[in-house]
């Protein structure tokens, strides 16, 4: 997902550990260039939704947005509702959702189905329920029942194998204190490679230990070899 937004949409993403009390995410423009910020301290499913939500602000041209908390229920400003809808569809496209349901012979949507859908698409159970409702694959009455069960924590009791359909690059990014946009990290490593910066300088900017920096340098060497 990080690669899609950075390499295809050309929007740099910063992921940094801010703790549970930090802002969830932000979208901003600096000198006319857009960028997205995501708090890496959140669970992966929340970080993914935050990233998609902030990208929604970009696509929908909402302008700068700083989101302390992102909620998909309750009364929200119009721009936040639009960004939530975009994020849910971005993470669970209708074609993929219908293919998933078709592979399971279009099951009656209940809490177990919602939890399985959430697992396979790296979203929360609440987002999975919200998306089924917005796609008209779930009735309002049933969605209310499932949301109530989720609020009571019943979804946590549903046991499923931890096998997901898709890998997620945010898992690695969240494991670091700070993950800069890919182009920025590449530029720092090139500067190190060319002797323009010391290892200490690059370690401080990337906030990674020496062994991880060496792994970064190895990937840079591989990428350079591929370019030749």
Q: What is the pLDDT along the chain (228 residues), one digit of tens a residue?
A: 888 899 899 999 999 999 989 999 999 998 889 999 999 999 999 999 999 999 999 999 999 999 999 988 778 899 999 999 999 999 999 999 999 999 999 998 899 999 999 999 999 999 999 999 999 999 999 999 999 999 999 999 998 877 665 566 777 777 777 888 878 877 888 888 788 888 888 888 877 777 777 776 665 554 444 433
On whether both 103 and 136 belong to a single domain, the answer is yes
On whether both 31 and 110 belong to a single domain, the answer is no
What domain range is 22 assigned to?
2-91
Closest CA to 55 of 19, 92, 94, 6: 6
Q: How many Cβ atoms from other residues are within 10 Å of residue 86's Cβ?
A: 19
End-of-domain residue from the set 91, 116, 133: 91
On whether both 145 and 199 belong to a single domain, the answer is no
On whether both 87 and 26 belong to a single domain, the answer is yes
End-of-domain residue from the set 124, 142, 157: 157
End-of-domain residue from the set 91, 118, 137: 91
On whether both 130 and 144 belong to a single domain, the answer is yes
Domain count along the chain: 3
What gap in Å lies between CA 84 and CA 50, rounded to an integer? 9
Half-sphere exposure of 129 (CA within 13 A, CB side): 23
In this structure, what token pair is assigned to residue 164?
A: 């997901």
Contact between residue 127 and residue 72 where contact means Cβ atoms under 8 Å apart: yes
Contact between residue 159 and residue 138 where contact means Cβ atoms under 8 Å apart: no
Looking at the domain assignment, is residue 131 inside a domain?
A: yes
Looking at the domain assignment, is residue 171 inside a domain?
A: no
Q: Across the chain, how many H-helices and E-strands are there?
A: 11, 5
In this structure, what token pair is assigned to residue 55?
A: 């990208």
On whether both 87 and 7 belong to a single domain, the answer is yes
On whether both 6 and 84 belong to a single domain, the answer is yes
Looking at the domain assignment, is residue 151 inside a domain?
A: yes
The three-class DSSP label of residue 74 is coil
Q: What is the DSSP letter of 18?
A: -
């Amino acid at each position: 997902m990080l690669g899609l937004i950075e390499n295809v949409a050309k929007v740099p993403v910063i992921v940094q550990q801010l703790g549970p009390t930090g802002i969830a995410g932000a979208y901003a423009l600096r000198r006319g260039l857009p960028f997205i910020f995501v708090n890496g301290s959140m669970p992966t499913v929340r970080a993914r939704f935050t990233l998609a939500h902030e990208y929604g602000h970009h696509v929908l041209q909402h302008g700068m947005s700083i989101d302390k908390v992102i909620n998909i229920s309750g009364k929200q400003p119009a721009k936040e509702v639009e960004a939530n809808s975009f994020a849910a569809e971005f993470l669970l496209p209708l074609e993929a959702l219908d293919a998933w349901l078709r592979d399971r012979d279009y099951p009656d949507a209940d809490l177990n189905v919602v939890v399985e859908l959430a697992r396979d698409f790296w979203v929360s159970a609440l987002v999975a329920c919200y998306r089924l409702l917005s796609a008209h694959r779930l009735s309002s009455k049933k969605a209310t029942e499932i949301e109530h069960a989720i609020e009571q924590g019943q979804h946590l009791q549903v046991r499923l194998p931890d096998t997901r359909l898709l890998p997620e690059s945010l898992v690695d990014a969240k494991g670091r204190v700070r993950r800069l946009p890919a182009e920025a990290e590449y530029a720092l490593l090139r500067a190190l490679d060319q002797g323009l910066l010391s290892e200490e300088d690059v370690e401080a900017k990337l906030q990674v230990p020496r062994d991880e920096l060496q792994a970064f340098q190895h990937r840079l060497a591989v990428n350079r070899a591929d370019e030749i």
